[in-house]
Amino acid sequence: MPNHIGARKLAMAFTVWLLLFYSLFLLPVSVFAQTNGGRAVGDSLTATANSSPWLSPSGDFAFGFFSLGSNGLFLLSIWYAQIPDRTIVWYADRDNEAAVAPKGSTVNLTANSGLVLTSPQGEELWKSGTGAGVVANGVLNDTGNFVLQDSNSESLWETFNNPTDTLLPGQTLERGGTLSSRQSETNYSKGRFQLLLQGDGNLVISTINLPSNFANQPYYSTDTTSGTVAGSEGRELVFNVSGYLYVLRENGGKYNLPVGEAVSARDNYIRATLNFDGIFAQYYHPRNFTGNVSWTLRWSEPDDICQRITEDSGVGVCGYNSICTLKGDKRPTCGCPKGFSLLDPNDPYRGCKPDFIQGCEEDELSRTKDLYDVEVLTNTDWPISDYVQLKPFTAEKCNESCFQDCLCAVAIFRSETCWKKKLPLSNGRVDVSLNSQAFIKVRKDNSTLPIPAPQLPCPDDKKKKSQTTVIRAESVLLGTSIFVNFILGAALCLGFVLIFRKKHVRSAEIVLDSNLRSFSYEELQEATNGFKEELGKGAFGTVYKGILQIGSGVQVAVKKLNYVMQEIEKEFKTELNVIGQTHHKNLVRLFGYCDEGQQRLLVYELLSNGTLASYLFTDIKPSWRQRIEIAYGVARGLLYLHEECSTQIIHCDIKPQNILLDDYYTARISDFGLAKLLMMDQSKTHTAIRGTKGYVAPEWFRNMPITTKVDVYSFGVVLLEIICCRRSVDAENDCEEKAILTDWVYDCFLEGALDAIVDYEVQALGDKTTLENFVMVAIWCIQEDPSLRPNMRKVVQMLEGVVEVQVPPCPSPFSRACLKGSFVSQV
């Protein structure tokens, strides 16, 4: 019995020992299973301050949510897990905007949609997609590449094929592949710079015209095109595992980017990043380090970005009204001239604004004519802001000429030549080779001017003036009736002769005036396939889609005007004369016309993305950045019509249905059929009511003179629609207070509820300064009193931040919203 018990104890001890042995053996396997980078379908992460990311097997890279500060927003991203400053190498983006997620958002690994990011309310913020496959698992590799795999371990989607602003060793960029810079160091939405391996094999860096992908002329290029040697064009940009960057040619040759001294990829982390300031640079950081160690620059291109970005390359890196200077590390720094301050104190690259209002109207309103001092800078220039060049000149004459010119903001003198420039100033830089002087006008009192109170006539005075006018008119009519009868008889005879002659020369006159192509009705009938495909219909005609057989075929929109005798004849001539003589990137282009018998047709370019109305008023809200650019475009188009084209034009019917969007979602103003032309020496005119309900300025209904301010009013309404993505009048809205957009927005503005205006949109609230400025500009535009509305030049300057936006008064003093605001302020 004792032997049996002893054997039993021995067996138990052996079992315990064996279990301990297996536990020790299996422990590394268990740890490896947790850190091998693999994730199963159904795994998820939640955006919280202390959520744990998914790690690569070595622990070098992490995938998860990066906190964007104290605002409760997070960015789904990949970063170096071992470096304290969390250098991000990839992040999720959608429609050129970073997929920023509020606290509590989750990312799930799904079989059919891949990685799916959703808000706490269940709204889908971003998804990776899977191609045509079904996801079995996801893997974060030690290269920093997150790969979605099917059951055969084949790649369905990977971050290396969807780069943002950074390349890592082992990553390649095929033809058509891009890197896009951020907007700033802390704003991860798409910025103004793009690295692209073009279809011809050339690797270039360019500025782009947001929100489109249209690139300006490159300011850096490898020139790896076919040239004179067959097969020498670039096939792909390669960042090999040793840390070298080169363009691999079709013939197998290489174009090596000058990456400087060799750096061990084994001992260092290496990355190549297109920085937010347009510099493409390679950096390295030791893997094993102690203390405070930062990234070291290995090489960068271009050498001097301040000088390399020219007129063809777009707006300079520092934004408008600023001065670009190169630092020792070849990165640009931005500053403001005296009398100007940063648009955003936290972002010097957004540009500068004057600390005063400058303009001809403002200068005239001043009580003193001694308004400005002059600040002199050497070797500084804004080379593409000229509006006049004077020579031969002296420095003194150049300074004096600018000083006396209300349009002139800066004058540059160099080599007996004076260049006068107006705001906003573009592509400013310091260049020691210029040997120039810059004379900058700075307002002495450094202040803005108050907007004058409207001058309204007293009712009694107005009545007396009206009665006096009637009495005088009656006297004149009685005294001249006999003479008029005689003249009318002669004029009638002469009129018949002129009308008869005019019928024979009318078409020729239009050709001479407008310089447009004249189409036959048969040509346009064939181009539109018998006017079958209707694009839209309005009060004055129907628009059809057509194809002109020019080259490979040109798509056009043919507007067939309704025949209404004299009215349509007037409409037709107005549209021809107006559009035929205009040319601006924010206006629709007119190709030609048909004037045959009773047929009147206009042939426009066809814009692929339809009207602004169809773009704004849908279930899917356009991105905030795109809406901002559309607002800029409409404002600049109106500025051109009012001040910059040869004949001043009042459009009279600005609304989302008359604003079209091209391939790049650039806003283009259309339908000039209701335009009211003014001669250069005119400032106002009287005309019948025109326009569309909800966008019509109050003066149309009050028999007041009509000026360009009616378009400013309509633009203000459209701007609110762009901000809010809703119609100006919503009769079906359950909440009566929200039915009229202008009243509701002013209510929200008074209460400081900007978040309600944009329906708590994350992107817009992340750009709250712009949002507030846009709302205030819109309220200035919809002032009931036309004299309080800014002109379109001032509107553009306020939108772009060139001029500070003051807090607007109540737009309609006797409306319910304004009376409510007055009551609140009294309380």
Task: Answer for the pair 233, 172: CB distance below 8 angstroms, yes or no.
Answer: no
Task: Answer for the pair 173, 197: CB distance below 8 angstroms, yes or no.
Answer: yes
Q: How far apart are CA 59 and CA 44, in angstroms?
A: 19
Q: How far apart are CA 192 and CA 24, in angstroms?
A: 55
Cα within 13 Å of Cα(39), Cβ side: 28
Sequence length of the chain is 827
Q: How far apart are CA 804 and CA 797, in angstroms?
A: 8
Q: How far is CA 313 from the centre of its chain?
A: 17
Q: Which residues are catalytic?
A: 653
Q: Using CB atoms within 10 A of its CB, is residue 232 exposed (0-12), middle (13-18) or buried (19+)?
A: middle
Q: How far apart are CA 250 and CA 171, in angstroms?
A: 18
Q: What is the DSSP string of 565-580?
A: THHHHHHHHHHHHHHT
Q: How many CB atoms lie within 10 A of CB 415?
A: 10
β-partners of residue 190 are 182
Cis amide prior to 302 (ω within 30 degrees): yes
User: Tokens 């004057």 identify what position?
Assistant: 354
Task: Answer for the pair 645, 638: CB distance below 8 angstroms, yes or no.
Answer: no
Q: How far apart are CA 809 and CA 401, in angstroms?
A: 37
Crossing angle of helices 792-799 and 709-724, in 10° steps, is: 30
Task: Answer for the pair 556, 591: CB distance below 8 angstroms, yes or no.
Answer: yes
Q: Using CB atoms within 10 A of its CB, is residue 700 exposed (0-12), middle (13-18) or buried (19+)?
A: middle
Q: How far is CA 451 from the centre of its chain?
A: 29
> How much is the CA Rg of the chain, to the nearest whole Å?
33
Q: How far apart are CA 560 and CA 600, in angstroms?
A: 6
Grouping H, G, I as helix, E, B as strand and the rest as coil, residue 659 is strand
Q: Is 820 annotated as a binding residue?
A: no
* Torsion of Cα atoms, 60 then 64 then 67 then 71, to 10°: 170
Q: Using CB atoms within 10 A of its CB, is residue 26 exposed (0-12), middle (13-18) or buried (19+)?
A: exposed
Q: How far apart are CA 117 and CA 94, in angstroms?
A: 11
The pair of three-digit structure tokens given for residue 282, joined into one six-digit string: 């390679």
Distances 462 to 255, 465, 582 between C-alpha atoms, Å: 80, 5, 40
Q: How far is CA 397 from the centre of its chain?
A: 39
Q: What's 748-764 look like in SS3?
A: HHHCCCHHHHCCCCHHH
User: Tokens 């919503």 identify what position?
Assistant: 730
Q: What is the DSSP string of 765-781?
A: HTTHHHHHHHHHHHHHH
State in Å, rounded, how far the first CA of the chain is from the last one: 99
The H-or-E segment that residue 173 falls in is: strand 171-174
User: Which among 629, 685, 574, 568 has a CA at the least distance from the CA of 800?
Assistant: 629
Task: Answer for the pair 710, 785: CB distance below 8 angstroms, yes or no.
Answer: no
**Known binding positions for ATP:** 560
